Amino acid sequence: MRRVCFLATAIVLFILAAGRPAAATMSMYKVYAKEYIDVHPDPEYAAAVKKANVRCLLCHQGKKRKNCNALGVEMAKFVKKGEDCKDVEKISASLKTILVMRVDPKDENSETFADRIAASKWPAGELEDLKKEPVETSSGAAE
């Protein structure tokens, strides 16, 4: 009986460990990296953005990857979960559309996401701010 329990537990742990990471988000990152980071003229910026512990902050905010930053919110409007996330052409076209948008859509003088990337800045804000969990408002929405 002990062996059966041990074997069952080992199988469950193996299945959990072998589970694939979120391939959709990684595929979006790969398209972004190929088109904007790999060709960036600032090698220090490109290396910083490629670090595994922070690259998710291109679209997300904080440690919980459920919180999107301004770029991630726009990306979610164009690329839907599921098959869209693996559609390289759709991701590429969406990025071209999004990167010309203003970081603050209410301010006509704000930088575009592309302006920030060209200036070797994180598209949706400062890295230290992106690492912090967003503050919940009284309505329950994250800012």
Low-confidence ranges of the chain (pLDDT < 70): 1, 4-24, 136-143
Q: What is the sign, positive or negative, of the torsion defined by CA atoms of 29, 34, 35, 37?
A: positive
Residues 79-100 have pLDDT tens digits of 887 778 888 999 999 999 999 9
Tell me the percentage of the chain whose pLDDT exceeds 90: 59
Token duo for residue 77: 């409007």
Q: Which of 110, 85, 114 is nearest to 98 (CA)?
A: 114
Residue with tokens 């953005």, as numbered in its chain: 49
- Residue type for 22, please? A
